[in-house]
Amino acid sequence: MNFNFSDTFWILLLIASVQPAWQRQTVELRRMQALKEFERQRGGRVILLIHRQESINLLGIPLSRFISIEDSEQILRAIRLTPPGTPIDLILHTPGGLVLATEQIARALIRHPSKVTVFVPHYAMSGGTMLALAADEIVMDENAVLGPVDPQLGNFPAASILRVRQDKPIGEVDDQTLIMADIAQKAIAQVQRFVRTLLEDEVPKRKISPEKIDSIIEAITTGRVTHDYPITVEEAKEMGLPINTDMPTSIYQLMDLYPQPRGGRPSVQYIPMPYEPRPRLPEPGGTSPQPQR
């Protein structure tokens, strides 16, 4: 059988069209194998909530992912299908999201009779922190961070809107700002009430000392820091949150299977192996290199 240029072109085109689907299928298979292995090691249900910045089709328009109603539907179903005696491990990597979706997931987590562990390999901000507060144990990388859960109204922190009403004479504040301030006050009260519910959870056992609860609520809900303020492991432990840093290596391997979509050159690059200093070559003249400090 003789192949001409036209046949070669169509074969290459077929391979190019099939390859992306084959690669996605391969990665999905590796993800499922990694999840099953982690569940086998931990003896419980593993749920991932990972939000990356996606690209829309071929336009390359950045689209930030966040906790949505679709996420809450899927996670609530996973929790509902988990037997009462089976622990739940939730792996979080998210900037936050809708309050309604976040509260639904958090309520389902605190109602689960067995232990709930949240793993934070990099960050879980805003709504992600609220989900972490629903856990009996929070496992964080030593450099991972949580964030405040103070409510935001549009582009403005609720606490800042209240500050305007407090600092200006009432006659100099326009009606719209007064209405926003009223909503802000209600939003802060609602979030504080819900966070207290999470921190007072006693199933399967109490996780926060009662004397720590008020100070935690004050620190993360009142807007005394900016909404993107990073709460480090050390600060979270000082607050009294149930933190440890025994992050399994398999978590990082699992995160590698959910990479950021790439376009153009990579922004970060390194040799993926344990770094070993290499010996320096002898300098001309036979003199050995001197150690540097």
Query: Tens digits of per-residue pLDDT, 8-34?
Result: 767 777 777 777 777 778 888 998 999
Confidence of residue 61 (pLDDT cuts 50, 70, 90): very low
pLDDT digit string, tens, across residues 81-94: 999 999 999 999 99
Whether the Cβ atoms of residue 115 and residue 86 lie closer than 8 Å to each other: no
**Per the domain annotation, does 287 fall within a domain?**
no
For residue 242, which of 139, 131, 89, 93 has the smallest C-alpha distance?
A: 139
Domain span at 107: 43-255
User: Do residues 219 and 93 share a domain?
Assistant: yes
**Per the domain annotation, does 34 fall within a domain?**
yes
**Per the domain annotation, does 264 fall within a domain?**
no
- The order of strands in the sheet holding 116-120 is 45-50, 88-93, 116-120, 137-140, 243-244
User: Do residues 220 and 187 share a domain?
Assistant: yes
**Per the domain annotation, does 117 fall within a domain?**
yes
**Per the domain annotation, does 274 fall within a domain?**
no
User: Do residues 205 and 245 share a domain?
Assistant: yes
DSSP letter (8 states) at residue 256 = T
| Total Cβ atoms within 10 A of residue 48 | 20
User: Do residues 29 and 139 share a domain?
Assistant: no
**Residue 274 pLDDT exceeds 70:** no
Farthest-apart Cα atoms in the chain, separation:
90
User: Do residues 13 and 111 share a domain?
Assistant: no
Q: Model's pTM, two decimal places?
A: 0.84
User: Do residues 24 and 85 share a domain?
Assistant: no
pLDDT digit string, tens, across residues 107-154: 999 999 999 999 999 999 999 999 999 999 999 999 999 999 999 998
User: Do residues 10 and 28 share a domain?
Assistant: yes
Confidence of residue 59 (pLDDT cuts 50, 70, 90): very low
Rounded to 5°, the CA angle 197-199-204 comes to 95
Return the pLDDT at 10.
72
**Per the domain annotation, does 277 fall within a domain?**
no
| Count of domains for the chain | 2
> How much of the chain, in percent, has pLDDT values that exceed 70?
82
Q: Looking at residue 170, which CATH number applies to its domain?
A: 3.90.226.10
Here the tokens at position 179 are 């209405």
Return the pLDDT at 57.
43
Return the pLDDT at 56.
45
Return the pLDDT at 126.
95
Return the pLDDT at 273.
64
**Per the domain annotation, does 62 fall within a domain?**
yes
User: Do residues 47 and 121 share a domain?
Assistant: yes
User: Do residues 21 and 160 share a domain?
Assistant: no
Confidence of residue 264 (pLDDT cuts 50, 70, 90): low
- Cα–Cα distance measured from residue 92 to residue 123, given in angstroms and rounded to the nearest whole number: 8
Q: Which long-range contacts (CB under 8 A, 24 or more apart) does 233-241 make?
A: 233/140, 233/141, 233/142, 233/143, 233/144, 233/145, 236/138, 236/140, 236/146, 239/212, 239/215, 240/208, 240/209, 240/212, 240/215, 240/216, 241/132, 241/133, 241/138, 241/208, 241/216
**Per the domain annotation, does 286 fall within a domain?**
no
User: Do residues 102 and 193 share a domain?
Assistant: yes
User: Do residues 134 and 201 share a domain?
Assistant: yes
**Residue 276 pLDDT exceeds 60:** yes
Return the pLDDT at 270.
65
User: Do residues 15 and 75 share a domain?
Assistant: no
